[in-house]
Chain A
């Protein structure tokens, strides 16, 4: 018997077990609920096995399974978002917006201290394990509803129209929330990872 590699050509329990950790990380990141993530991953594995015959081998097993997982995550987000209303986004946005406002002078140009710096070659950061810890921590620090919109856009790669539709928010509101999230993440990375980066001139 040969031991199964993560990317075998068949959907087997062993192949699924090999990617389970990655699936859990993906689902947990989106849902911020490890129990729900566990359930979703379990369901995804069962679905994948029951549809194993449909796997044509055109992509890797991992890609194929992640497509199922992604759909399950989107469904779970849809269900959850029914209880979230526009006021929840506004409440979260207030403190983020006032923090953002402090970066600017009265004429709306950057204060010298807040001017975005040059982060250098991104590849340098990606090679360091510690960077990913900081990155995850910064993502987790975003307020829940704001983070959800951001994850839908950046990780599930939904377009803003789909996000508006799913969450029943306006397009402009969606753009404001995404801007907030990006700026929050950026500031967090800047102060926790890139702080000794070269100053902007």
Chain B
């Protein structure tokens, strides 16, 4: 069973690389049982969408490169 600390690293890395199947299973298992870490994942998803929206040229630079 992953600790919350290890889980926070995996949640972050999931935004940067493809996790292995074992990592994914461990992560999902932990998230299913831990409200704090599942909130953490939502927070990190939120930050990503906010910062991309914030920095993009309004509505249309995202896909175009």
Least CB separation from A176: chain B residue: B9
Indicate which residue in A62, A159, A174 contacts B61 across the interface (CB closer than 8 Å): A62
Indicate which residue in A60, A62, A70, A118 contacts B65 across the interface (CB closer than 8 Å): A70
Least CB separation from B52: chain A residue: A154
Q: Determine if B13 is an interface residue (Cβ-Cβ < 8 Å).
A: yes
Indicate which residue in A63, A109, A132, A175 contacts B16 across the interface (CB closer than 8 Å): A175
Least CB separation from B12: chain A residue: A179
Indicate which residue in A26, A109, A110, A126 contacts B53 across the interface (CB closer than 8 Å): A126
What chain B residues lie within 8 Å of A139 (beta carbons)?
51
What chain B residues lie within 8 Å of A116 (beta carbons)?
36-37, 39-40, 43
Q: Determine if B44 is an interface residue (Cβ-Cβ < 8 Å).
A: yes
Q: Is B47 a contact of A185 with CB atoms below 8 Å? A: yes
What chain A residues lie within 8 Å of B4 (beta carbons)?
104, 108-110
Q: How far is the CB of A59 from chain B (nearest CB, A)?
A: 5
What chain B residues lie within 8 Å of A10 (beta carbons)?
none
What chain B residues lie within 8 Å of A108 (beta carbons)?
3-6
Q: Determine if A201 is an interface residue (Cβ-Cβ < 8 Å).
A: yes
A126 to B46, CA, bound (A): 11
Knowing A26-B55, A67-B65, A126-B53, the reply to whether A183 touches B8 (Cβ < 8 A) is yes
B residues adjacent to A (C-beta < 8 A): 3-6, 8-9, 12-13, 15-17, 34-37, 39-40, 42-44, 46-55, 57-58, 60-61, 64-65
9 new A-B contacts, CB < 8 A, other than A59-B60, A118-B39, A119-B42, are: A22-B58, A60-B60, A67-B65, A108-B6, A122-B49, A175-B12, A186-B43, A186-B47, A189-B47
